């Protein structure tokens, strides 16, 4: 398995309709349909991933503590941090795609699903 880089995350995300570069709290990020999608964490090696329910986050951290983690800042929010160097690209892409789907208008999702029957980008 080749680990994913942030540049590869960006390249993947920009293939999704409505994704563009933006800023969040003064930091570069990716936005989907005007809403926060993801960004590189301050450590320079972890991806900030929203839309991960607490129970799923705990399961991910327990299963792969070297890949998934959370800081005190994110503990009360449905976010997980992913160390890209150890993450499986399909897992990262799946979490980014899921958050993209959560932000996408119904019309965009319908068109996407018609053109991507497997759900993959």
Within a domain: 25? yes
Query: What integer pLDDT is reported at residue 1 of this predicted model?
Result: 67
Identify the CATH number of the domain in which residue 51 sits: 3.90.1150.30
Maximum CA pair distance of the chain?
A: 40
Domain that holds residue 22: 6-115
Task: Give me the tens of pLDDT residue by residue for the chain, a chain 121 residues long.
Answer: 677 899 999 999 999 999 999 988 888 899 999 999 999 999 999 999 999 999 999 999 999 999 999 999 999 999 999 999 999 999 999 999 999 999 999 999 999 999 887 766 6
- Beginning with the edge strand found earlier in the chain, give each strand of the sheet holding 68-69 in spatial order: 19-24, 27-32, 35-40, 46-50, 79-83, 68-69
Element (H, E) at 69: strand 68-69
Number of domains the chain is built from: 1
Chain-centroid distance, C-alpha 14:
12
pTM: 0.92
Query: What integer pLDDT is reported at residue 112 of this predicted model?
Result: 92
What values do phi and psi take at 80, rounded to 5?
-135, 150
Query: What integer pLDDT is reported at residue 43 of this predicted model?
Result: 92
Within a domain: 53? yes
Angle between helices 6-14 and 89-103 (to 10 degrees): 40
Within a domain: 1? no
């Amino acid at each position: 398995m080749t680990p994913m880089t942030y540049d590869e995350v960006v390249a993947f995300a920009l293939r999704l309709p409505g994704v563009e570069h933006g800023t969040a709290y003064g930091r570069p990020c990716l936005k989907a349909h005007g809403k926060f999608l993801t960004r590189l964490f301050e450590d320079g090696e972890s991806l900030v991933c929203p839309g991960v329910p607490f129970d799923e986050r705990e399961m991910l951290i327990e299963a792969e503590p070297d890949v998934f983690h959370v800081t005190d800042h994110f503990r009360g929010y449905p976010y997980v941090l992913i160390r890209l160097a150890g993450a499986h690209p399909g897992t990262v892409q799946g979490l980014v795609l899921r958050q993209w789907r959560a932000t996408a208008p119904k019309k965009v999702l319908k068109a996407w699903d018609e053109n991507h029957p497997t759900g993959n980008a």
